[in-house]
Structure 1
Amino acid sequence: MTETNLSTANPDSAARRGPGGTVRLEDYSGIKDAARIANVLRTALQEADAIEVDLAALTEFDVSIAQLLVAARKSAVTQGKTFELNNVPGGSIRAALIGLGLLGTDGEAHGQDEAFWLGADAEVQAA
């Protein structure tokens, strides 16, 4: 597996690779970063059986990045691979997920699709 650090603050560090199977999204990620992020996710899907997207350093994102993550997850499932989010921050990221309709209005997961957005260890809440 490989690790890709994708820093939107420094476009030159978009494809730094090391050990592990992680793609890291950092800072603000939006439409201006979509093509670059799509390429990194595509490469990760080609090279690894288990992809983890680390969001620990993500401060904001928009619907274009959510769409890329949904598409990458669907591609992974189709290929029999795992695709998980890890270190999902709260605050503005959780607010964006609620605003996009990806989490319940209470910020909790009420189904497996919503649980995906809270990370690998998310629990599904009773309705």
Structure 2
Amino acid sequence: MSAHLDTSELEAFATRLGVAAGQVRRAVQPTLSKAGLNVKDAYAAQARSSRHFRPLAHTVSYDILPDGMSVEIGPDRARGGGAGLAGFFYGWPRGGGGSGDLDGPLEQEAAVLGRFAAEAIEGLL
């Protein structure tokens, strides 16, 4: 007794997945860039709203890392203010600072990023 299974649709789908896997980075990168910009802008807005940390708002920047799938957000050392922003978000050893919210903008953007990244990936299939 033998049976013949038609796996042509499965094989075609596997081929599409293989092609899509190579295109994910390029499809998702604009979404990551926009998410990084939104979080950077939120951090800068927080600093601008502080009387003491307002001058450091312009030092917040973001970069897409070489892997193309990660975003780094933080102080741009060339613009100065790295230690000052650390004080804004984490506080100082002897008190003061620590009024910045690191998690809020990230959590808010995570849902949006997930939705748009999923749509971009879905478009590849």
Q: Normalising by structure 1, what TM-score?
A: 0.22
Higher relative contact order (CA 8 A, sep 6+): 2
Choose between structure 1 and 2: higher strand proportion.
1
Choose between structure 1 and 2: higher helix proportion.
2
Q: Normalising by structure 2, what TM-score?
A: 0.23
